[in-house]
Amino acid sequence: MSDLIKDPQLISAMQDLGRGLKSPSDLAKLSREILKITVEASLNAEMDAHLGYGKHSTDGYNSGNSRNGYNHKALKGDHGVIEIATPRDRNGRFEPVFVAKNQTRLTKFDDQILLLYAKGMTTRDIVETFAELYGADISPALVSQVTDAVLEKVVEWQTRPLDTVYPILYLDCIVVKIRQDKRVINKAVYVALGVNVYGHKELLGLWMSENEGAKFWLSVLTRIEKSWHQGRVCRLRRWLDRVS
């Protein structure tokens, strides 16, 4: 049994529940119920901390704020979709952390979408996989929303301003295998790694091409030029002319 679960009564209750399982479907249903209980208990604990007193406590009389029922919403997670009740306060100031307002998915659910997307699965393949493995009804629009959010962060990182001086710059190219059009092929990944004036390494960028070549290196330096000082890139171009 997990080290996180030490209460003998809780262990005994879980063992009793386990004896009634007869199929993977039964296990999935039990997991959803346990997740629902855990999430709701965490949210109620957050509400107690927010108000400064527990439910039904007399400390809440004339305190200026109190519980005000629940909002109900569907929360998608690794084990499918669960219906949870989120507590609310009369002043409308409760901001839960465990499951934030307007949040409809647990974080790891998004991670699974990105993992499948990175493995080369199409949006529709991901939708079908979630329906088959988790019994979760997600839309292609949801998958696109998750992946687009990550792509926005990637673009933001690619266009970030760079330091004006990097005393040391490493340029290298590695060959990796990727899945494309249902085939595994080789791709060249260009790497630019700089060491700043504090001696810390910083990844300046990653670029992918069919193979390594001087022309693509020139395009890499051109992209760096947009975020870096003109003079340094000119010297790098002269270096590239020598090695090509």
| Count of other CB atoms within 10 angstroms of residue 125 | 14
Strands (E), the chain: 67-77, 80-89, 168-180, 183-195, 201-209
CB 86 within 8 A of CB 70: yes
Strands of the 168-180 sheet, one edge to the other: 168-180, 183-195, 201-209
- Give yes or no for residue 217 having a pLDDT over 60: yes
- Give yes or no for residue 76 having a pLDDT over 60: yes
Residue whose token pair is 């992209």: 223
- Range with lowest mean pLDDT among 11-20, 41-50, 132-141, 146-155: 11-20
Q: What is the radius of gyration, based on Cα positions, of the chain?
A: 26
Q: Distance (Å, rounded) from C-alpha 105 to C-alpha 87?
A: 17
Residue whose token pair is 């700089």: 194
- Give yes or no for residue 28 having a pLDDT over 50: yes
- Give yes or no for residue 7 having a pLDDT over 70: no
Give the three-state DSSP class for 138: coil
Using one digit for the tens of pLDDT, what is the confidence trace for 144-190? 777 776 777 777 777 777 787 888 888 888 888 877 777 788 888 88
- Give yes or no for residue 21 having a pLDDT over 70: no
Q: Distance (Å, rounded) from C-alpha 182 to C-alpha 121?
A: 9
- What pLDDT does residue 26 have? 67
Q: Distance (Å, rounded) from C-alpha 157 to C-alpha 176?
A: 22
Q: For residue 221, give the nearest of 244, 201, 192, 243 by alpha carbon.
A: 192
- Give yes or no for residue 2 having a pLDDT over 50: no
Q: For residue 227, give the nearest of 194, 202, 195, 204 by alpha carbon.
A: 204
Structure tokens at 184: 């595994």
pTM over 0.75: no
